[in-house]
Amino acid sequence: MDWLLALLQTALFVFGAPLLLGWIKRLKALSQNRQPAPVWQPYRDLRRLFHKEVVIAHHASWLFRITPYIVFGAVVLVASVVPLLVTSLPTAAIADVIVLVGFFALGRFFLALAGMDIGTAFGGMGASREMTIASMAEPAMLMAVFTLAMTASTTNLSTAMLTILHEGLVLRPSFIFAALGLMMVAVAETGRIPVDNPATHLELTMVHEAMILEYSGRYLALIEWAAQIKLMVYGVLVLNLFFPWGIATETTTNALLIGSVVILAKLMLLALILVVSETVVAKMRLFRIPQYLSFAFLLCLLGALSHVILEAGYII
Amino acid sequence: MLSHLSLYEQAIFVLAALLLYTCFSLLAHTRLLDLIRAFAWQGVLLAATCALVAWVLEQPHLYISAILTLSLKGFLIPFALHRLVIKLKLQHTVEKVSSPTTVLLSGVGLVIFSYYVALPIEQLSTEITRNVIAISLAMVLLGMLLLISRSQAVSQVVGFMAVENGLFFAAVVSTYGMPMVVELGVAFDVLVAMVLFGVFFFQIKDNLDSLDVDQMNRLSEVDE
Amino acid sequence: MNDLTWVLGLPLFGTLLLALLRNHRVAGWLNVIISAMTLLASFLLALTVLDQNRLFFFNNLFFLDAFNVYLTVLTAFVGTTTAVFSRPYMAHEVEIGRVGMRRMRIYHSMYQFFLFAMLLALTSNNLGLLWVAMEAATLATVLLVSLYRTPESIEAAWKYFILCGVGIAQALFGTVLLYFAAFHVIPVSHNALLWSELQQYAGQLNPTVTSLAFVFLLIGYGTKVGLAPLHNWLPDAHSEGPTPMSAVLSGLLLNVALYALIRVKIIVDGSLETNIAGYLMMFFGLLSFVMASFFLHSRRNIKRMFSYSSIEHMGLMTFGFGMGTPLAVFAALLHMTVHSLTKSAIFVTVGHACQIAGTQSIEHIRGLIKTQPSVGWGLLIGTAAIAGFPPFGVFTSEFLLLTATINTWPWLSVILLTSLAVAFAGLFRNIQPMVFGEQPAQQVAVQANMLPVVIHLLLVLSLGLVIPEFLANWFNQVTLLITGSGLL
């Protein structure tokens, strides 16, 4: 039963992710006074891509073909361990934050390799940019994670959530910083404005898109889908780690129902915040990104510091 | 754990952390107007802290300090600085900090240092004071770092005032402010200092044609 | 109306009056008169205090004992004689057009305010108020330093402002920490910054907090004393401001800062079992002393040279107070007096010398003794006094300090003696050509008022020959207050 639930939760992640993107796109269109596409538009796009013929460069190696599967697989694995509705699942045992960061890194590594595999200028450029961003985003993310781990004395996601749930509403300066920092990292990692623009194909500004420019058909579909799941995973992480209230701690129907409603509401709200911030903020020049990320790192570092200085003295 | 503390103490911690954050944002901002705005925020946060302490611990005289702080550090001084910057046509100046990352990282180093300095202070009264002293010491040191790392006279003044803010924070939270005579005296000094700074801006501008203090090097030439 | 009201009220009244007065000649005279009246009031106050040991005023906000009343009299005295000198000096500056009428008003008003701030700092029982007064004195002197509005003076004033402002902010942090330590010990919490209360309860203060507080107070007030390595403002401020200001800065403000440091040291010593505060003061005092004596040699500006000499002597006093034996403290107190008198006399003569030569550059001041013998002799004798020639008082105090050092830290006396010799050589190497060298053409005498110099140097000389009994008793009382045991 529990395993079934875990499977169900993963499926929710995988199949719900396009919906989240559709919602974001819809909000964005509304905010820009455009006629919005329906929220299931991403599903249609994916279906169309799956049906299309795959065109691959002549000298593409096996690496190029295998990468989409690895990327997708890694993201699905991540999705399977992040608690979405309920904390006490059998997968919770392996729901470690560091594993999670590792999985993301694995996917990115292969994506960068594939970008360079074809040998076009764009692929290489995209790969190098992506790795630059990652090299600065990952320390920040880890720092945020450490802050959380220090508070909960664990790196296990569901245990951490449970600890925070148990303590009730506590004003934690470290969490304010860590949450803000993590959000900034999430924006960078999922390629949103102001770091990257998912809707652009302008060579000067592309990061993620440049890397996957050579993909088509089902390969492209898988990569896009993986990106959507990644966005959702980050959203859920921020929400459930820092505001875990509402998540089910036991597997009763009632609790699950409440859990799904709450997470849905939270995600919708987060999407709204994302859209507002993307509307207000302009895309940065590429050379400003290190500043942005070092600011995120500073925030996370401040989070860790304020944990040590202000909060840690009271561990009895 | 933190959850054992009262909501008041948690709130003080959050304010302390936010104040620390404003210090870092002071270090990070290179445009003068942004710098002044961050400084104003710091003043407002400080006044909020003051009012919170006054309200929760029933220290009515702190309301006066809160009002004084809000009007002086939250509005008057930032406003005056803002006017001066506009008047001296400095609003578009972007200050060159030789290595911003190093400055920020040394700021983090200073925070850790002040934590270790405050560590041996036993928790005398309420549980929070030691940590607050660490934070306020960090604020003082960060203000000094701002002073060192900048060459614009305006930023140096902001650094000077930020040092003062750090002191005030320590006084408010650890000892519920200073005796009234002292507090009024300090406020008076700060006000006079601000007026003097304003006068100096114009004199420096007249003499150097800019507010870049690094260009002041006549005296060291005399020396050797 | 008590004596203290007069001592504090007169300069405050002078500040307001002179700010409004347009005529700078009348203002110059009034400046002298008000200072003299303050001196008179402080004499009367001293008589009462010496009679009754300790006096409190205004709800314990102010208090006077042998220590601060002694400095009050010294401050008022040097303030008065410098005012006497300042009148013709500043009139000359107006004549040659260096300062305008409006700035003369600022000058006179700030002179009185500076005196007021120092007297307030000295008589305050509240350590917070002491800080406020020190900061106020800083602000007043900033205005005085920048009086000439030359690029150099603006630069000096800015550096002074920033360095001292930040330095003294550290002292406020120390004060807050001290208050924090006392807050829960002293029954009436709003009395917790009163020095008399702090001294009474010193034993119960948390030692960690007080030692931390002392470090900050040392940095803060040490900056104002001019202790290395935070001494940079001092030569700048001395060289660029008007000369009377240099005289009161060196002769008085540094003393007041040192006074503040000693006051907190007494409390910290009461709280700690170790003598860490004393060691810190000894270290920084000695460091400044040695450093300044070497720096004396390569100065090219006469006022800068003598300001380094001030750093040197302040370092020596800090060292003496840090040592903390009755003999050392007695010697340091004597040194404080003779240094104030001598150094202000020197700055007065230097001021005239600079007016004669029209420059402050050592290379260009030559042949003073031919142009104007009174100034030449004044400079020569003053330098001889400050360098520690017998039979001047500086010799006596330095000798006593050396004896105290040999008694407790024999090895350090080697360093002391070497540096004294180095400083001696540095001073005379620069002074000799200025006094005796070839007189430049067209160098004419200026109208000089050598009366303050004569009085000061005569006093220093007589203190070197014999210390009157009442003064010795007075110093002994102060020593008793600081160290807990008297010398006599």
Surface of B (147-166) touching C: CB under 8 A: 147, 153, 156, 160, 163-164, 166
Cα within 13 Å of Cα(C54), Cβ side: 9
Tell me the one-letter amino acid at A63: L
Q: Which residues contact A254 (CB under 8 A, 6 or more apart)?
A: none
pLDDT tens-digit series, residues C301-318? 899 999 999 999 999 999
Quick one: angle between helices C469-483 and C254-271, nearest 10? 50
Closest residue by Cα to residue A183 from A231, A131, A111: A231
Closest residue by Cα to residue C205 from C132, C138, C280, C266: C266
Top residue of C61, C164, C170, C179 to mutate, by most chain B CBs within 10 Å, is C179
Mind telling me how many Å the CA of C180 is from chain B's nearest CA? 6
Which residues of chain C are under the pLDDT cut of 70? 1
Q: Which residue of B has its CA nearest to C143?
A: B196
| Spatial separation of the C-alpha atoms in residues A98 and C406, rounded to whole Å | 66
Q: What percent of chain A has pLDDT over 70?
A: 98
Does residue A235 contact residue A192 with C-beta atoms inside 8 Å?
no
Query: What's the number of domains chain A is made of?
Result: 1
Q: What is the pTM of this model?
A: 0.88
Surface of C (322-361) touching B: CB under 8 A: none
| Spatial separation of the C-alpha atoms in residues B194 and B182, rounded to whole Å | 18
The total number of residues written for chain B in this structure: 224
Residues from chain B that touch C150, judged by Cβ atoms under 8 A, are: 207
Q: How far is CA A288 from CA A211, B26, C343, in A?
A: 20, 19, 58
Among the partner residues C129, C170, C192, nearest to B181 by beta-carbon distance: C129
| Spatial separation of the C-alpha atoms in residues C322 and C227, rounded to whole Å | 13
Q: Does the CB of A168 have a partner CB in chain B at under 8 Å? A: yes
Mind telling me how many Å the CA of A125 is from chain B's nearest CA? 26
Contact C155 B219 (CB under 8 A): yes
End-to-end Cα separation, chain A, in angstroms = 38
Residue B8 has pLDDT above 60, yes or no: yes
Burial of A285 (0-12, 13-18, 19+ CB in 10 A): exposed
Surface of C (133-172) touching B: CB under 8 A: 133, 135-136, 139, 142-143, 146, 149-152, 154-159, 161-162, 165-166, 169-170, 172
| Spatial separation of the C-alpha atoms in residues C123 and C130, rounded to whole Å | 8
Does residue A232 contact residue A12 with C-beta atoms inside 8 Å?
no
Contact C159 B125 (CB under 8 A): no
| Spatial separation of the C-alpha atoms in residues C97 and A118, rounded to whole Å | 81
- Local structure of residue B212 (DSSP, 8 states): B
| Spatial separation of the C-alpha atoms in residues C215 and C206, rounded to whole Å | 15
Q: Which residue of B has its CA nearest to A293?
A: B101
Among the partner residues B2, B11, B21, nearest to A311 by beta-carbon distance: B2
pLDDT of residue C134: 93
Count how many pairs of residues, chain B against chain C, have C-beta atoms within 8 Å.
141
Contact C132 B185 (CB under 8 A): yes
| Spatial separation of the C-alpha atoms in residues A37 and A21, rounded to whole Å | 11
Q: Which residues contact A245 (CB under 8 A, 6 or more apart)?
A: A165, A262
Six token digits for residue C369: 């003794």
pLDDT of residue A90: 81
Structural domain spans, chain B: 2-223
Does residue C146 contact residue B203 with C-beta atoms inside 8 Å?
yes
CA angle C179, C181, C186 (to 5 degrees): 80
Q: Cα A204 vs. chain centroid, distance in angstroms? A: 24
Contact C169 B179 (CB under 8 A): no
| Spatial separation of the C-alpha atoms in residues C145 and C333, rounded to whole Å | 28
pLDDT of residue A313: 59
Q: How far is CA B108 from CA A298, B130, C487, in A?
A: 9, 19, 51
Contact A177 B101 (CB under 8 A): no
pLDDT tens-digit series, residues B24-48? 999 988 888 999 999 999 999 999 9
Q: Does the CB of C311 have a partner CB in chain B at under 8 Å? A: no
Residues from chain C that touch B207, judged by Cβ atoms under 8 A, are: 150-151, 154
| pLDDT band of B175, cuts 50, 70, 90 | confident
Mind telling me how many Å the CA of C136 is from chain B's nearest CA? 6
| Spatial separation of the C-alpha atoms in residues A16 and A228, rounded to whole Å | 9
Supply the Cα-derived Rg of chain C in whole angstroms: 21
Surface of C (38-67) touching B: CB under 8 A: 61
Contact A306 B13 (CB under 8 A): yes
| Residue environment code for C34-65, b if the CB has 16+ CB neighbours within 10 A, otherwise e | bbbbbbbbbbebbeebbeeeebebeeeebbbb
Count how many pairs of residues, chain A against chain B, have C-beta atoms within 8 Å.
75
Q: Does the CB of C132 have a partner CB in chain B at under 8 Å? A: yes
| Spatial separation of the C-alpha atoms in residues C231 and C311, rounded to whole Å | 8
The total number of residues written for chain A in this structure: 316
Does residue B109 contact residue B115 with C-beta atoms inside 8 Å?
no
pLDDT of residue C414: 93
Does residue A227 contact residue A64 with C-beta atoms inside 8 Å?
no
DSSP A162-189: HHHHHH-S---HHHHHHHHHHHHHHHHH
Contact B122 C179 (CB under 8 A): no
Instruction: Please state the ipTM of this predicted complex.
Output: 0.91
Q: Cα C416 vs. chain centroid, distance in angstroms? A: 21
pLDDT tens-digit series, residues A208-236? 888 888 888 899 999 999 999 999 999 99
Three-state SS sequence of chain C: CCHHHHHHHHHHHHHHHHHHCCCHHHHHHHHHHHHHHHHHHHHHHHHHHHHHCCEEECCCCEEECHHHHHHHHHHHHHHHHHHHHHHHHHHHHHHCCCCCHHHHHHHHHHHHHHHHHHHHHHHECEHHHHHHHHHHHHHHHHHHHHHHCCHHHHHHHHHHHHHHHHHHHHHHHHHHHHHHHHHCCCCCHHHCCEHHHHHHCHHHCCHHHHHHHHHHHHHHHHHHHCCCCCCCHHHHHHHHCCHHHHHHHHHHHHHHHHHHHHHHHHHHHHHCCCCHHHHHHHHHHHHHHHHHHHHHHHCCEHHHHHHHHHHHHHHHHHHHHHHCCHHHHHHHHHHHHHHHHHHHHHHHHHHHHHHHHCCCEHHHCCCHHHHCHHHHHHHHHHHHHHCCCCCCHHHHHHHHHHHHHHHHCHHHHHHHHHHHHHHHHHHHHHHHHHHHCCCCCCCCCCCCCCHHHHHHHHHHHHHHHCCCHHHHHHHHHHHHHHHCCCCC
Instruction: For chains C and A, tell me whether 3 or more CB atom pairs sit within 8 A of each other.
Output: no
Contact A314 B1 (CB under 8 A): yes
pLDDT of residue B2: 61
pLDDT tens-digit series, residues A242-274? 888 888 888 788 888 888 899 999 999 999 999
Cis peptide bond upstream of C229, omega within 30: yes
Q: Which residues contact C155 (CB under 8 A, 6 or more apart)?
A: B216, B218, B219, C236, C240
Six token digits for residue B24: 């870092």
Contact B144 C132 (CB under 8 A): no
Burial of C268 (0-12, 13-18, 19+ CB in 10 A): buried
Tell me the one-letter amino acid at B224: E
| pLDDT band of A194, cuts 50, 70, 90 | confident
Six token digits for residue A130: 């992506």
Six token digits for residue C11: 């300069």
Among the partner residues C132, C208, C304, nearest to B120 by beta-carbon distance: C208
| Spatial separation of the C-alpha atoms in residues C357 and B97, rounded to whole Å | 44
Burial of A163 (0-12, 13-18, 19+ CB in 10 A): middle
| Spatial separation of the C-alpha atoms in residues C252 and A92, rounded to whole Å | 73
Does residue A126 contact residue A115 with C-beta atoms inside 8 Å?
yes
| Spatial separation of the C-alpha atoms in residues C90 and C109, rounded to whole Å | 14
Burial of A19 (0-12, 13-18, 19+ CB in 10 A): middle
pLDDT of residue A315: 40
Top residue of B13, B127, B137 to mutate, by most chain A CBs within 10 Å, is B13
Q: Does the CB of A172 have a partner CB in chain B at under 8 Å? A: yes
Start-end of H helices in chain A: 2-31, 41-51, 62-81, 97-117, 121-152, 157-167, 173-189, 208-211, 217-242, 253-280, 289-306
The total number of residues written for chain C in this structure: 488
pLDDT tens-digit series, residues A47-69? 999 999 888 888 888 999 999 99
Write out the residue range of the structural domain in which residue A66 sits.
Answer: 2-314
